[in-house]
Amino acid sequence: MSYDYVIDSSAWVEYLLGTDKGHRIRPLIDREDIATSIIAIAEIADKLVRNNVRFHVMLQFIQRRAVIIPLSVELALKAAQLKKEIRMKKEKFSLADGVHLATALQEAAVLVTADPDFSGLDNVMVI
């Protein structure tokens, strides 16, 4: 199966918390074929649990709406390569960011993010 969009953790948090940025991507999440990486799930859980937000309900919604892409060896290697390349220009680009982008590239999808570290990159929609 192919996906139109891969939603990263920052975009999911905006959507789940009902922010203005989250409202902008509502049509994508409601109507498009979407996926997310397992790393996004870990990052969302970390953020919401720290803020005493019930993650389980949010996770159930994400699982109903998006396919969760597991981390493979190939994906991990591509993420490391992307981090190395992009870090030369964007010093805060993390390995998790690399996983999100590698997942989108693997799925031939557009990465949707609220993270400005992705600005200017191909196949990325920064909300």
Residue ranges per domain, the chain? Answer: 5-126
Instruction: Write down the number of H helices and E strands in the chain.
Output: 7, 5
Please name the residues in contact with 5: beta carbons below 8 A apart, sequence gap of 6 or more.
28, 32, 33, 34, 35, 104, 109, 110, 111, 112, 125
pLDDT for 52 equals 87
> Is-contact 114 10, C-beta < 8 A?
yes
Q: What pLDDT is attached to residue 17?
A: 87
- Rounded (to 5) percent helix, strand, coil in the chain: 55, 15, 30
From CA 46, how far away is CA 28, in angstroms rounded? 24
Domain 5-126: which CATH number of 3.40.50.1010, 3.90.10.10, 3.40.50.850, 3.40.470.10: 3.40.50.1010
- For the cut 80, the answer to whether the pLDDT of residue 117 exceeds it is yes
Instruction: Give me the pLDDT at residue 2, please.
Output: 81
pLDDT in tens, 65-104: 999 999 999 999 999 999 999 999 999 999 999 999 999 9
Q: pLDDT by residue (tens digit) across 24-46?
A: 999 999 999 999 999 999 999 99
